[in-house]
Structure 1
């Protein structure tokens, strides 16, 4: 019999926002796997650290963050090989994933490589979108309102061939994720659409480094773990 592969969502950063199921699986794990960026420390592991017991075997996947997808895909290939060896030996493997495994989560790439051959269970997690709305005090949607979630790199790409006043999708609430180096372009699009006064900037929500402020007051540079919320407020939530 093979082991089971668990894709465990860890939430946005605050360890107390992990689910009870995630904590139980991590605490009982003999083998864990998680991504790192450019050989640095793992944000996912830091969230789960309080539940990782001594002696756990750790599979570290160094994932390059490049425009070219080939290096990252090769890294996931290597990670899948290491995980496959543990599963074939009958060992369960818990893969740590910040946020939710199936919402821009790294686990989905391992899932695609391993799901056909092994039992897999996905444990959902609190997404950064929900966390940012909570810390900003902005309900995302009420009644029949429409929410659009857009990665900043895609929004910046569209700016190259679209009028800034028309670039933002029609919706009641807009969430722009993964700001990083695209903050300047995204801010220009929001200003062009006349929505700067409704835009809130949130950085590293639920962590000790959390920042929440109007986008008009945001710094010139943003980390990857930051987003903008635009809630137009057509419904008063009453």
Structure 2
């Protein structure tokens, strides 16, 4: 009998934001797999730590932080092969994913390598965007407004064009790109409409006006922009 693969969203960091389904699947898994930075700890494992069964088999997928795609792709090849070995002997494998598995989630790379051979279920999780909006305590969108989600690493020109044409904006993966993002928003006269959120839902969470955002910013930070239409008031 072949085992089943699960890609389980854990939410943005607070373990209490895991869904009941995620918690149940983790507690009953034969094998737990998770990405980890090469030489570092796994944020995903830390979120789920209290739910891990005693003695559960673990597969750590060491993903290098590199702008080149090849090293990370090789890491996912290795991880997928290890997971396949467990599935082939009938073990259920739960892959832990920060946030949601298919919202900028690393699970997509394992899914593409394994889902055509093994039964796979994807369990949605709370996204960092909704967590940051809750931390900001202000709606991102209302009625017919459109939310645009933008990755911070894109070029300044592309960022400028996309923000200028948007109604509400979430800029993710801020990190070292914060100075560029600040300048683009200042050029568009949107600094006063922008809020910086760092490590949402964790005890070290920060919510600040963009002008007060610390540099350097961590990877797990986001900038939310509402343009002052406030149709929900």
TM bin, normalised by shorter chain, reads over 0.9
- 1:104/1:165 CA distance change after superposition, 3 Å: closer
Q: CA deviation at 1:38?
A: 2.0
Alignment correspondent of 2:140:
140
After superposition, the Cα gap between the structure-2 partners of 1:35 and 1:163, relative to the gap in structure 1 and judged at 3 Å, is closer
Unaligned runs of 5+ in 2: none
- 1:220 deviates by 1.8
| Aligned mates of 1:43, 1:35 — CA distance in 2 | 8
2:54 maps to 54
201, 218, 227: which is aligned to 1:232? 227
CA contact (8 A) 2:9 2:124 kept: yes
Q: Where in structure 1 are there 5+ consecutive unaligned residues? A: none
In the alignment, does 2:91 pair up with 1:91?
yes
Which residue of structure 2 lines up, in the alignment, with residue 181 of structure 1?
176
Q: Distance in 1 between matches of 2:58 and 2:31?
A: 6
Q: Tell me, what secondary structure is at the counterpart of 1:153?
A: coil
- Report the secondary structure of 2:225's partner residue: strand
Partners in 2 of 1:235 and 1:128 — Cα distance? 22
> RMSD over aligned Cα, in angstroms?
1.3
Which aligned pairs between 1:1-238 and structure 2 lie closer than 5 A? Answer: 1-154=1-154, 157=155, 159=156, 162=157, 166=161, 168-238=163-233
What is the TM-score when the length of structure 1 is the normalising length?
Answer: 0.95
What is the TM-score of this pair, normalised by structure 2?
Answer: 0.97
Cα 1:184/1:76, change in 2 over 3 Å: same
TM-aligned CA deviation for residue 234 of structure 1: 1.4
Task: Give CA deviations for 1:48-77 in whole Å, capped at 9, x if unaligned.
Answer: 000001110000001011110000000000
Residues 138 and 231 in structure 1, CA contact (< 8 A), matched pair in contact too: no
- CA 92–169 in structure 1, closer or farther in 2 if over 3 Å, else same: farther
Q: For residue 170 of structure 1, report the CA deviation from its aligned partner.
A: 1.2
Per-residue deviation, 1:232: 1.3
Q: Aligned to 1:176, what secondary structure does the other structure show?
A: strand
Cα distance in 1 for residues equivalent to 2:162 and 2:57: 47
User: 1:83, 1:93 within 8 Å by CA — same for their partners in 2?
Assistant: yes
Q: What is the CA deviation profile of residues 90-135 of structure 1, one whole-angstrom value per residue up to 9, with x for unaligned ones?
A: 0010000000000000100000000100000000000000000001
